[in-house]
Structure 1
Amino acid sequence: MKKKPLIISTDPGIDDIAAMTISLFAKKLDVRMIVPTWGNVALEYTLQNTLNLEQFLHTKVPVVVGANQPLVAPMISAAAVHGQTGIAGFDFEQANDDLVKPGLAATLMANEIENSPAKVTLLGIGPLTDFALLLKQYPAVKQNIEQIVIMGGNIGRGNHSPLAEYNIAGDPEAAQVVFHSGLPIKVAPLEIGNKAHLTPEQMQQVKECGSVGKMLYSLFSHIHEPDGDPRIKIFDPTAVGILLHPKMYTMKRAHVEIELRGQFTYGASVIDFMDQGNANSEIATDVDLAQFAKWFINSIKTAEQGRE
């Protein structure tokens, strides 16, 4: 089986930890590089969280230090949801920086892509700052990028502001660069994460998946929905699901623009399903919940086996 070469841009973050865990042990993926960026919390925390996770999982994928702020927008924070360090709910052993590869993220990503025999997929599960810098500084790499898969954006209401989803609102200018790249783009928007939940009973199954399951159970148990819903909503792993198990999703082509000027709509994803002539993305509009839950739990079992 040929594995898909993958570069992950991430801002861990509880659900980022789950998405990385699944990706690192997925039999169809070859994770070449992880680029922690600012996002849910500051870069100093997302970098350390990435290193701590790899130490916990016994993996050795190179880590490249990403952007510490957005291109233009003021920095925002989701520490209220994820905790000050981004991973409230589980105490990882502090890792050293042996896996950190020195150099600028855009340059190191460009080198990896240019030298890859197979086209590389980019997975964006945080603000898209580093991918925007890559595409602007090294546009020639586009010829060796297979696709960009994103968890971000929203068809309807947002979770950062009434009309903007957090990952896109974090760096709207970067998102606009990515959506205008001309590359194939697939998107798991906010609505898919809202739907792709796990019940308390299914979370108990996750907990029973050894050390990895207990770690994720502890992290996700820290999240409490404002409406008191006991189900756990799964966001970033939905993008990994598009890569690994696309038949779980209903995908629709759309033309996507990011609002950059609106006083009350800055960072909003304008997803137009009617403008098929200018479609630049495929948007997940539905997910088979039973299949998703089964896939998620089985993926954690696979990670536990791989860790051992």
Structure 2
Amino acid sequence: MKKTVIIDTDPGIDDAIAIFLALTSDKLDVKLITTTAGNQTIEKVTSNALKLVNLTGIKGIEIAKGATKPLIKELYTAEEFHGESGIGGVILPEGEQQASERTAVEAMKDLIVHSNENVSIVAIGPLTNVANLITAYPNITHKIEQISIMGGAYEGGNTTPVAEFNMYVDPEAAQIVFKSGIPIALFGLDVTYKAVLFNEDIEQIRSIGNRISDAAAEMLEFYAKGRTNGLPMHDACAVAYLIKPELFTFIPCNVQVETKGEFTYGQTIIDKKRLTDRPINANVAFEVDREELSNMIYASLKSF
């Protein structure tokens, strides 16, 4: 039976690859895509989500606009890596589908309440929408099978010396999610920096020659500028886990998010060595089968 899935996202180039991977999987039934400000503003990431789904030709997936900013702080974006549009210099065609009239949180709540099966959430942007859902509707969290999160790091950040981007954008939201009691699989920089595509992988994708692979290759080439150690597929990890969990090696840990530190704001404190008595609240990925993940992405893009 397919897993019923919500993708909460801020597309984003690696978000686009994750969305394509999810939509082509015969193990996932993506019912809803919700957007949150992060890599770019809410208007831009929602437009990107609509265009990406339109490009695939897949119909019937609701796309609902979510948080315009973090719970407390001002929005911090990643234009440097994802470009002014959020998806590099790629121009995608407009489709007929419009964003849902429902907010992201209302759409998530309704899907979870009315689903016959428990729902998995793939959270590959800042966790603002998920935190708002948990806060507004704590009585439905038992119907959330798990949350597969891209974010955080055990050792070192990519936005500050200690904070990863998604966690830094809204650490208050992230802390709410980690305290929720919902099962969590966490894919931080410790594993996503190992989940890389190399230039030859991007060339293979371009050689596929369909409209999806052409767009993906162009986005990836933009994303790869200035990188010499491969191109991390951060967000694809959170999707690939739901498709093929054996790709990853996990350590159960307690995870907290720093919301008060002067120099450590947004840091994930991952108790890998079990130095505290805080209870385990996440399975944290540390290793990945890079080659198999690359093969999955290639097969996904080729299948269009």
Q: TM-score by structure 1 length?
A: 0.94
- Which residues in structure 2 correspond to 1:221-300 (within 5 Å)? 221-224=221-224, 226=226, 228-229=227-228, 231-273=230-272, 274=274, 275=276, 278-300=279-301
**Is the CA contact 1:35–1:64 (under 8 Å) kept in the aligned structure 2?**
yes
How far apart in 1 are the matches of 2:20 and 2:98?
16
Correspondence for 1:63: 63
Correspondence for 2:91: 91
Correspondence for 1:148: 147
Deviation at 1:231, TM superposition (A): 2.4
**Is the CA contact 1:150–1:185 (under 8 Å) kept in the aligned structure 2?**
yes
Q: Which amino acid aligns with 2:157?
A: G
Correspondence for 1:80: 80
Q: 240-249 or 250-259: which moved more?
A: 240-249
- Give unmatched runs, 5+ long, in structure 1: none
How far apart in 2 are the matches of 1:194 and 1:157?
11
Q: Helix, strand or coil for the counterpart of 2:109?
A: helix
Q: Helix, strand or coil for the counterpart of 2:64?
A: coil
Q: Helix, strand or coil for the counterpart of 1:106?
A: helix
Deviation at 1:243, TM superposition (A): 0.9
Q: 1:85/1:3 Cα in 2 relative to 1: closer, same or farther (>3 Å)?
A: same
Q: Helix, strand or coil for the counterpart of 1:266?
A: coil
1:214 aligns with 2:227: no
How far apart in 1 are the matches of 2:103 and 2:202?
39
Q: 1:225/1:164 Cα in 2 relative to 1: closer, same or farther (>3 Å)?
A: farther
Q: 251-260 or 286-295: which moved more?
A: 286-295
**Is the CA contact 2:39–2:77 (under 8 Å) kept in the aligned structure 1?**
yes
Correspondence for 2:12: 13
How far apart in 1 are the matches of 2:180 and 2:43?
29
1:26 aligns with 2:25: yes
Q: 1:249/1:53 Cα in 2 relative to 1: closer, same or farther (>3 Å)?
A: same
**Is the CA contact 2:119–2:143 (under 8 Å) kept in the aligned structure 1?**
yes
Count, aligned residues: 300
How far apart in 2 are the matches of 1:261 and 1:241?
33
How far apart in 2 are the matches of 1:282 and 1:24?
24
- Give unmatched runs, 5+ long, in structure 2: none
Q: Which amino acid aligns with 2:185?
A: K
**Is the CA contact 1:156–1:163 (under 8 Å) kept in the aligned structure 2?**
yes
- Which residues in structure 2 correspond to 1:114-129 (within 5 Å)? 114-129=113-128
Give every structure 1 segment of 4 or more consecutive aligned residues whose post-TM-superposition deviation is greater than 4 Å.
none
**Is the CA contact 1:73–1:172 (under 8 Å) kept in the aligned structure 2?**
no
**Is the CA contact 2:17–2:297 (under 8 Å) kept in the aligned structure 1?**
no
- Which residues in structure 2 correspond to 1:130-169 (within 5 Å)? 130-169=129-168
CA deviations 1:62-109 (Å, max 9, x no partner) are 11111100001221010011011101131101234x342212221221
Q: Helix, strand or coil for the counterpart of 2:37?
A: coil
How far apart in 1 are the matches of 2:87 and 2:269?
31
Q: 1:122/1:276 Cα in 2 relative to 1: closer, same or farther (>3 Å)?
A: farther
**Is the CA contact 1:89–1:221 (under 8 Å) kept in the aligned structure 2?**
no
Correspondence for 1:203: 202
How far apart in 1 are the matches of 2:182 and 2:233?
26
Q: Helix, strand or coil for the counterpart of 1:127?
A: coil
CA deviations 1:248-274 (Å, max 9, x no partner) are 110110000000110010000000021
Q: Helix, strand or coil for the counterpart of 2:302?
A: helix
